[in-house]
Amino acid sequence: MPMTDSDDLDYLVIGHVTRDRIAGGGWAVGGTAAYAARTALAMGLATGVITSGPEELVSSLEGARVLRVDSPVATTFDNRYTPAGRIQTVRTVAAPLTPELVPPAWRRAGVVHLGPVAGECSPDLASLFPGVFLGLTPQGWMRCWDEKGRVRRAEWQDAGLLLQEASAVVLSEEDVEGDESLVASWATIAPVLVVTRGAAGCTLYARGQRWAIPGFPALEVDPTGAGDIFAAVFFARLWQGEGPYQAAWLANCVAAASVERRGLREKVMAADLLRCQALCA
C-alpha cells in the first residue's frame, strides 16, 4: 500500500500477530505485535504494525495502521501454563518480515519495536532505523522447536550485534531459563536491559547499575501478553524522556493490571495507565 508523510508514527512494532489456541477449543489473537500495539494505542500514540498472516487476525487492532503481508497461514501457538512454567507448541509460522517491507515514512517512527515470536523478524531490520529509538523483545530469536512443534530455548545467534544496535531490550527470565550470568553479560553491551520476572517484578540494568524493582499485587487471571505490555510502556516512556527506573516502575504496574483480565481487547485500558501513573508518581 502507498505511504505518505501523513503516515508518520510514534510507535512502530514489527512481528507476527498470532493465533493462540486456548484450552477448551477456539483461538485468540496474540503475539507481541498485537499486545504492544494495543498498549501504544492506549497511551495515545500514533501506532503502526508490520505483520504477516490472514486478514482476520488484524481486525482487533483498530486504530493502528497495519501493513500486512498476506500469508496462507498464521503463526499459531498452543500455550499451556503449569506451575513449572509455560509449555508452548508452534503449529504453523507465517511469512517472514524483512527490511524492504518497511515504508520510508515509517522508518522515522519515534519508537521502533522489533518483537519476533518465531524468528520472523530479519536481524537486518535493526540497522534500518538510524537515530530512532530501537526497542527489542528478542524472545522469538531465542526459540526453536522440534518436529512436533515443542518449543525450547535456542542460542540467540545475533545477540552481540543487535544488543549494540538497541536503545533498550526487554526479555523474561523464562527466555534465558534463569541464566543470570548470560543476562549480566548482555547488560554490558545493551545500554538499557530489563529482565521481567512475573509477579516478582523485574531487574533493570542501566548506566552500569542494577536495580531489583518489585511487582504490584494482582489477582492473576491470564498472564498472556504481560511482558509485551511491559515492554511497550517501558520503551514509550523512555522515548518520552523518562528515566529507566521510573519507566520500569510504571511498566510493572500496567503489566500487573493486565493479568487480571483475559483477552487482547481487555488487557490494556487507558484507565490503567492513568491509575498507574498516579500510583507511581
Mean pLDDT lowest for which of 109-113, 131-135, 228-232, 275-279?
275-279
34 vs 32: CA distance, rounded Å: 5
**182's grid cell:** 548470560
- Alpha-carbon Rg for the chain, nearest whole angstrom, is 17
Q: Which of 175, 226, 179, 181 is nearest to 199 (CA)?
A: 226
Domains of the chain (ranges; CATH) run 5-280 (3.40.1190.20)
80 vs 187: CA distance, rounded Å: 30
CB atoms within 10 A of CB 147: 5
Better-predicted residue by pLDDT, 84 or 110: 110
User: What is the enclosing helix (H) or strand (E) of 78?
Assistant: strand 75-82
Maximum C-alpha span of the chain = 49
Q: Is the pLDDT of residue 156 over 80?
A: yes
Note the pLDDT of residue 2.
40
Segment 102-118 shows an average pLDDT of 97
Better-predicted residue by pLDDT, 23 or 38: 38
Note the pLDDT of residue 271.
87
Q: Is the pLDDT of residue 3 over 60?
A: no
